[in-house]
Amino acid sequence: MRFPLNRTTGGKEAVAASANSQIRYLRDIGKWSECGPKIAGDYSGVAYHFAVELQKQRKVPVGIIENAVNGAVGQAFMSPAAFEADSELAALIKKHGEPMSDIWKSSFLPIIPYAIRGALWYQGEGNRDYPVTYRRLLTALIADWRKQWGQGDFPFLIVQLANYGERKPDPWEGKDCALREAQLKTALTVKNAALAVTIDLGEAKDVHYPDKKPVGQRLALAARAIAYEEKIEYSGPVFESAKFEGGKAVVSFTHVGGGLVAKGEWLTGFLICGADKKFVRADAVIEGNTVVVRSDKVPNPVAVRYAWERNPECNLQNKDGLPASPFRSDDFVNFFTRDGG
């Protein structure tokens, strides 16, 4: 979230065209600043593009309170009261040897009196080593913020981890997979939460990918749907169910929008396995609002996954141009899906 606009793709042009009296910034406690070339370059690129899109579509003033810290762990943004109320979560966090509530005390307490319409959450890399705990942590963090602000169940919009790292010939499960799943399941189970998928935007050699404009725009779609109740599609396809029959998997989705499409010549990113739990790359085709997945190597499939790698080659989206979230139909336990190995 802290990645500044002037370092993003097209950032120089965006800064030059950033004058907008209907967008204001506030960092920590200080004076509200009107958006313009003198200040926009140093502010969050994601937040800038979110604000621009929301202001353009809603025709209302937009204020952004930026409170971002590079490389921080999620629990640092929670109040001490949250851990006092959940001693088991506190014990889990302490087990991982990470700090609690340090950022909260210095940066969040001063801004709690401000009225807000919703929150953008773009974090996760610092918690990659314990994704199971992260799902519980993120749910608790949302509840904590809503309690501290006392403004109801305001929208909480989550940016999923992007693709990053080396691609390998055979399926290779990285820790990011389970962390992305934790973010997805949080968005699906917490009231007024949503997920912006970025599995198509990352870069192999740079975890801080510069293409932030689509991230802000996808968050703005979610805000328009959840905060302002516009009847628009705001999410890419989300796994709903899988049926295994006749040597194939038939996968159904929610958020198909205008229909499922592959961004490219053919659909990629699907894995399938049999009872041996050894996943192989599979052929996949779109049939209506489902995807049919099969492989000659797996005559009797029992599980299917999509984009379940650290940097997958994947291209499923809906006709609204929103990418599908990585998913798995199974609940196989391994090193990456339970904390501590």
Q: What residue ranges do the domains of the chain occupy?
A: 5-226, 238-328
- Residue 198: per-residue pLDDT: 98
- Residue 146: per-residue pLDDT: 97
Helical residues (DSSP H) of the chain, grouped into ranges: 11-16, 45-58, 80-85, 87-95, 102-103, 131-149, 175-189, 213-226
C-beta separation of 45 from 7 below 8 A: yes
How far apart CA 45 and CA 15 sit, in angstroms, is 10
- The encoded tokens of residue 283 equal 């052929």
How far apart CA 71 and CA 255 sit, in angstroms, is 32
Amino acid making up residue 192: N
What's the CA angle centered on 272, arms 271 and 275, to 5 degrees?
A: 145
Residues linked to residue 124 through DSSP beta bridges, in sequence order: none
Q: What is the pTM of this model?
A: 0.95
Residue with tokens 């401000």: 114
Q: Coil, strand, or helix at residue 315?
A: coil
Q: Coil, strand, or helix at residue 53?
A: helix
- The encoded tokens of residue 143 equal 């509840």
Helical residues (DSSP H) of 98-174, grouped into ranges: 102-103, 131-149
Residue 185: count of CB within 10 angstroms of its CB: 15
Using 50 as the pLDDT threshold, list the residues of the chain that sit under it: 341
| Strand pairing class (156-159; 193-196) | parallel
Phi/psi class of residue 266: alpha, beta or left (left: φ > 0; alpha: ψ in -120 to 50)?
beta
What is the layout of strands, in order, in the sheet containing 238-245?
238-245, 248-254, 290-294, 283-287
- The encoded tokens of residue 278 equal 């050894």
Amino acid making up residue 7: R
b/e code 147-173 from CB counts within 10 Å (16+ = b): ebbeeeebbbbbbbbbbbbeeeeebbb
In terms of Cβ atoms closer than 10 Å to its own Cβ (0-12, 13-18, 19+), residue 180 is buried
- Residue 173: per-residue pLDDT: 85
Residue 341: count of CB within 10 angstroms of its CB: 7
Residues 96-146 have pLDDT tens digits of: 776 666 788 888 899 998 999 999 999 999 999 899 899 999 999 999 999
What CATH class is the domain 5-226?
Answer: alpha beta
Q: Coil, strand, or helix at residue 152?
A: coil
Residues in the chain, total: 341
Three-state secondary structure readout of 169-194: CCCCCCHHHHHHHHHHHHHHHCCCEE
How far apart CA 199 and CA 167 sit, in angstroms, is 13
What are the Cα distances from residue 73, in Å, to 12, 149, 178, 200, 337?
30, 21, 16, 24, 19
Assign 3-state DSSP to the chain and report helix, strand, coil percentages, each to 5.
Answer: 30, 20, 45
Amino acid making up residue 54: L
